[in-house]
Amino acid sequence: MSVSIEIRKEDIGRILRITVNGRSLDTPHFFPVVRLGTRVSLKFDGGIWSSGVITSAYLLWKRGFSGDVHEGLGFEGVVMTDSGAYQTLAYKTPIKASPEEIVEYEKRINSDIAVILDEPIFPDDTYNEARRKAKETVKRAKEANVDDKRVRVMPLHGIERPDILKRMIENSDFERYKMAALGGVVPYMERYEYAPVVEATVIARDSLPSDVPLHVFGAGHPTLIPFLIAAGADTFDSASYALYAKDGRYLTPRGTYYLDDLTELPCMCPFCIGRDPQELKRDRKLLELHNYYVLLQETVRVREAIRLGRLREYLEHKARTHPAAMEAFKTLIRYKDLIKPRAARFRQRGMFIFDKLSLLRPDAPERPELPKADKVILVISRDPPLRRLKDFEGNTVIYVTPRGLVPAELSETYPFSQTELPESLREELIEERIKKAKEIRKEFEIVER
């Protein structure tokens, strides 16, 4: 097998290059769900494209397809195949193929990234039933006759059941399985319950080896994708672009709208420009392409935000697009101790602070410990260069900054003097820091520069 996984940029979100059998894709990557017979190459006029798609091995098996899956789909990039477990999750009916049949079939059709047949856990399963299913999936993974000619994917379950999720990871062999995938997501997506999915993604990423990419099944909305990436996901898939189009729903970076509710199309993509909502309603293919364009564009935006060191600001922007997105953002904050070790310690750009919520971001650095001294001078200054220390020789100098009280020697280190924020917020935070300092020390000198 020719497989390589290269980390190209690492922060609270990361960029990988995954190469398998001479085919490459960069993460974060969205795998659109496609089916045999559509001949979808996902390369259209206007430059829309994908370097990787996903299809159901089980549905191909049911149709009796026996050729190379790349030729069947008319697609030369990376093809990931799901095992058919989604059919069980969606329709609560067991599939007719055995785990062994799916494993061998994925070999025959030359899948690049192949998922074994797992037992999906439903949100309404009892704890004991969920644990039984998790054990069965691990057992199948151990017994599967996997080869080394493709990336094998270990399915994981345990949304809202972190102990089950962690135990699955502990009992899995990631020498044989080079990738992991979190399942059971769709029921939460349908109810716009983002927080449990983000929580499970953070826990999975923290428990997995760092060189194992993490996929999230069924995550296909632009208001969720950035939070999954910050939580630790590398790839995700969905048929949402087509399913939304079937219902006349129009994806945007800020949410989903029914075409009947729109007077104009708020998008300049190749499929919207020069058209009105009714044209897309009449031509569902155009609506599908637009919806896919929005999802593709979201992954590009996040990749570039990672490269520029601006993912944290982008998350704050996205958090205000929907209440579910804000809950996802607050979930990242709640798990910031697990995320912080992945955050870059130094950046080429300063930090933007918009409001007090910005101070709680998962990548916010800890404030340093304050030195102990009999006399402390608190200096309030918009620009605290070290050369001013000579004005206070023999004294312990602490700068009062919006991020807290900072020893003078650290005042020019990131991010204490590389922070931009509204002046009204700066004044409010400075007053709060002085008040806090007074609670700690009764006597000190305040100097404002």
Q: Which of 155-164, 232-241, 414-423 has the lowest mean pLDDT?
A: 414-423
pLDDT at 2 over 80: no
Going by the DSSP 8-state scheme, the letter that residue 382 receives in this structure is: S
User: Is 251 part of any domain?
Assistant: yes
Q: Which of 51-60, 170-179, 300-309, 440-449 has the lowest mean pLDDT?
A: 440-449
pLDDT for the residue numbered 409: 74
User: Is 362 part of any domain?
Assistant: no
Say how many domains are in the chain.
2
User: Is 82 part of any domain?
Assistant: yes
Domain that holds residue 418: 376-448
The token pair that represents 220 in the structure block: 């296909």
Same domain flag for 274 and 411: no
Domain end position, chosen among 322, 341, 360: 341
pLDDT at 379 over 80: no
Domain end position, chosen among 341, 362, 388: 341
Which amino acid makes up residue 279?
E
Same domain flag for 397 and 281: no
Same domain flag for 332 and 429: no
User: Is 197 part of any domain?
Assistant: yes
User: Is 369 part of any domain?
Assistant: no
pLDDT for the residue numbered 444: 62
**What is the full DSSP assignment across 301-357?**
HHHHHHHHT-HHHHHHHHHTS-HHHHHHHHHHHHTHHHHGGGS-S--SSPEE--SGG
pLDDT for the residue numbered 85: 77
User: Is 13 part of any domain?
Assistant: yes
pLDDT by residue (tens digit) across 321-335? 999 999 999 999 999
pLDDT for the residue numbered 45: 45
Residue (of 41, 37, 42, 80) closest to 62 by Cα position: 37
Same domain flag for 159 and 287: yes
pLDDT by residue (tens digit) across 83-141? 987 776 666 677 788 999 999 999 999 999 999 999 989 889 999 999 999 999 999 99
Same domain flag for 384 and 330: no
Active site residues: 82
Domain end position, chosen among 341, 357, 384: 341
Contacts of residue 37, Cβ cutoff 8 Å, sequence gap at least 6: none
pLDDT by residue (tens digit) across 397-440? 777 777 777 777 777 777 777 778 888 888 888 888 777 777 76
Same domain flag for 327 and 424: no
Residue 393: pLDDT band with limits 50, 70, 90? low
- 401 and 411 Cβ atoms separated by less than 8 Å: yes
Residue 357: pLDDT band with limits 50, 70, 90? confident
Same domain flag for 143 and 278: yes
**What CA–CA distance (Å, rounded) separates 231 from 233?**
6
- Average pLDDT of the chain is 87
Same domain flag for 276 and 405: no
pLDDT for the residue numbered 89: 64
Going by the DSSP 8-state scheme, the letter that residue 46 receives in this structure is: T
User: Is 355 part of any domain?
Assistant: no
pLDDT for the residue numbered 385: 53
Same domain flag for 132 and 21: yes
CATH code, 71: 3.20.20.105
User: Is 77 part of any domain?
Assistant: yes
Helices (H), 64-157: 69-73, 85-91, 99-108, 127-143
